[in-house]
């Protein structure tokens, strides 16, 4: 079922944004600092209420759903998550089962495995690196087996090998029908791995479409104010930014 926003506005943060996101795809949300990416993701997760416009999942208005039902449908990973208590990795990941009210071990084991955390599952959170912590929080989302995975900069703290492994995993999730929405600053990752890109500028939608269109150098110049060039072949593109002239 689609996850859609229709003409949503929120104070000075979002203005008239409409988009119907499709399951089975990776949608990237890109844009400069302060453009409204995290705000939009929080709205899509039902955590922020808009001033006007509607947010729907399938035919349901998102905020009409009981919180537990919403949490079973949408798994949300905030930017810079923190663990409230210093518990073991496995216990944090198992919290992902809370919306289901069960302690099913298989999805927890699968999420640990997917994020390469099995060997660390008994390790307390305080004894992890930043990237290992980030992977643990994402594993918690995966353990909930949501219909939608919304993640704010999930790749930022990861090394290149773990980035690729995680993207591979999210692609498999999308192939099995899960909707995946990622806030990404790295435009090359968005270009190479997203099916669709929403570009936000100053709280409004500046582009929406296939990555090669939405992240065209003209859009980047207009929205980020930077002159760029894409190098490489499709699927392996790298973005070169030209420093401003003297
Ligand atoms: N709780 C809040 N109350 C009011 N304004 C906020 C709040 N949080 C963020 N903002 C403002 O809303 C705008 C959008 O913020 P948001 O965090 O969505 O941007 P972003 O695109 O995710 O930025 P970044 O790339 O820096 O993470 C910014 O101008 C920010 O200052």
Kindly report the CATH number assigned to the domain that includes residue 40: 3.40.50.300
Q: How far apart are CA 85 and CA 88, in angstroms?
A: 9
pLDDT at 134: 86
Tell the residue nearest (CA) to atom 17 of ligand 1.
38
Non-local (6+) Cβ contacts of 198 within 8 A are 19, 27, 28, 29, 30, 40, 205, 207, 208, 214
135 assigned to some structural domain: no
- Domain that includes residue 182, residue range: 3-81+145-241
ipTM attached to this prediction: 0.97
Beta bridge partners of 28: 182, 197
195 assigned to some structural domain: yes
117 assigned to some structural domain: no
37 assigned to some structural domain: yes
pLDDT at 246: 67
Tell the residue nearest (CA) to atom 25 of ligand 1.
33
pLDDT at 33: 96
Question: How many independent structural domains does the chain possess?
Answer: 1
Q: How far is the CA of 16 from the centre of ligand 1 (A)?
A: 16
222 assigned to some structural domain: yes
Give the residue, out of 10, 29, 34, 198, with the most ligand 1 atoms within 8 A of its beta carbon, to mutate for a pocket test. Answer: 34
pLDDT at 85: 77
178 assigned to some structural domain: yes
124 assigned to some structural domain: no
Dig out the tokens for 34 from the structure.
Answer: 């302060």
Q: Measured from the CB, is residue 34 less than 6 Å from ligand 1?
A: yes
Residue 185 alpha carbon, nearest atom of ligand 1: 25
Q: Which residues of the chain have pLDDT under 70?
A: 81, 83, 246
pLDDT at 219: 98
184 assigned to some structural domain: yes
Q: What is the pTM of this model?
A: 0.94
Closest CA to 64 of 55, 73, 52: 55
CA angle 55, 61, 66 (to 5 degrees): 120
Q: How far apart are CA 150 and CA 172, in angstroms?
A: 15
At 7, which helix (H) or strand (E)? Answer: strand 3-10
Give the residue, out of 39, 190, 199, with the most ligand 1 atoms within 8 A of its beta carbon, to mutate for a pocket test. Answer: 39
pLDDT (tens digit per residue) in 7-20: 999 998 999 999 99
Report CA 3 to chain centroid distance, whole Å.
13
């Amino acid at each position: 079922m689609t996850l859609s926003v229709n003409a949503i506005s929120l104070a000075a943060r979002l203005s008239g944004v409409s988009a119907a996101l499709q399951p089975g795809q990776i949608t990237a949300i890109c844009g400069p600092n302060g453009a409204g990416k995290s705000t939009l993701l929080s709205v899509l997760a039902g955590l922020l209420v808009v001033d006007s416009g509607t947010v729907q999942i399938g035919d349901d208005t998102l905020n009409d759903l009981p919180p537990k039902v919403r949490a079973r449908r949408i798994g949300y990973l905030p930017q810079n998550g923190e663990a409230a208590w210093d518990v073991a990795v496995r216990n944090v990941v198992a919290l992902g089962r809370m919306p289901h009210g069960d302690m099913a071990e298989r999805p927890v084991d699968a999420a640990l495995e997917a994020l390469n955390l099995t060997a660390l599952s008994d390790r307390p959170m305080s004894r992890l690196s930043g990237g290992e912590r980030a992977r643990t929080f994402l594993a918690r989302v995966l353990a909930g087996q949501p219909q939608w995975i919304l993640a704010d900069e999930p790749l930022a703290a990861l090394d290149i090998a773990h980035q690729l492994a995680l993207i591979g995993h999210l692609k498999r999730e999308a192939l099995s029908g899960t909707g995946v929405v990622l806030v990404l600053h790295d435009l090359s990752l968005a270009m190479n791995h997203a099916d669709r890109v929403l570009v936000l500028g100053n709280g409004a939608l500046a582009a929406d479409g296939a990555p090669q269109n939405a992240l065209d150098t003209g859009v980047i110049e207009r929205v980020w104010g930077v002159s760029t060039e894409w190098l490489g072949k499709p699927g392996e593109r790298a973005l070169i930014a030209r420093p401003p002239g003297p």
